[in-house]
Homo-oligomer: A and B are copies of this chain.
Amino acid sequence: MENRKTAPVGVFDSGVGGLTVAREISRQLPNENIVYFGDTARVPYGSKSQNTIIRFSEQIIRFLKTKDVKAIVIACNTASALALDAVRDEFDIPVMGVVIPGARAAVEATKNRKVGVVGTDATVQSGMYTKIIHGMAPDVEVIEKACPLFVPLVEEGFKEHVVTREVIEYYLESMRNTDIDAMILGCTHYPLLRSKIREYMGDRIQIVNPAYETAMDLKKLLREMDMENDGETVQHSRYSFYVSDAAEKFRKFANTVMPFDVPTTNVVNIEEF
């Protein structure tokens, strides 16, 4: 498997949100090459059915495999919740999601066994975080809350606008009035609102960012499989970005998230895969 070490990691999301996961991977595994795919032609996944999300995920994994990736990270909570089991059985390379790492971190963090989860409609309606947390720790009470406006607010660059504070209050007031002591940011866009959410929820509640936990898990997985890039053979173009539509808009947003310059984004007709 020596030649697999320099192969890239595939990371995909319904759009730009998964960039927060790619960012964590680039921080914690600085030697790894990344091929990122954002399904900008079909974003958002949050309101789509499980069958549709499995079909879209299969197409994307087939595309990423053409880039010779050694492992795949589903950097999208909705797809992790709804498609991970199906695609894991189907493909011959390791596939990870963000839900399990996030759930485990919350179970480890909570002292009083009460955890909150915020995410898209589909993630919350699937109840996947609750199921996975209960599989790990049946005694933990889970309170889930959908916050559908967070994604458009982030994408519109409203991070610092007064409206964002009010929308946070609208969605999270009931959550703050519970006695949870850990809360999972169950959508990859939400880490971009992390400081505002933390400010509103207060220091009592530990905010769990699954992007961070996922990068840690990826590191462990690559090490166990002896696929970690040792850094000696870093290629010139270490990060490449593909989308299904609107490349320039994606590129601009990517440059506000990633800690390095994203010079180009390529368009792929994903329905062909």
Contacts and interface: CB of A to CB of B under 8 A. Distances in A.
B170 A249 contact: no
Of listed A158, A163, A166, residue having the most chain B CB within 10 A: A163
A158 B149 contact: yes
B42 A47 contact: no
Contacts of A49: 245-246
Of listed A49, A148, A162, A166, residue having the most chain B CB within 10 A: A49
B156 A245 contact: no
Nearest to A147: B156
Contacts of A149: 152-153, 156, 158
A67 interface: no
A48 interface: yes
How many of these chains are in the complex? 2
Contacts of A42: 41-42
Interface string A127-162: 000000000000000000000110111011010011
A47 B52 contact: no
A2 interface: no
A156 B245 CA distance: 25
A258 interface: no
A40 interface: yes
Contacts of A158: 149
A271 interface: yes
A52 B48 contact: no
A167 interface: yes
Contact of A166 (B41, B166, B170, B249): B166
Interface string A230-259: 000000000000000110010000000000
Nearest to A47: B246
A246 B41 CA distance: 18
A19 to B, nearest CB: 16
Nearest to A166: B163
A37 B246 CA distance: 24
A155 B46 CA distance: 13
Given A47-B245, A163-B163, A271-B271, 6 more contacts: A42-B42, A47-B249, A148-B156, A151-B152, A163-B166, A166-B166
Please give me the 7 A-B residue pairs with the lowest Cβ-Cβ distance, nearest first: A152-B152, A163-B166, A48-B245, A163-B163, A49-B245, A148-B156, A47-B246
8 contacts: A47-B246, A47-B249, A48-B245, A148-B152, A149-B152, A149-B158, A163-B163, A163-B166
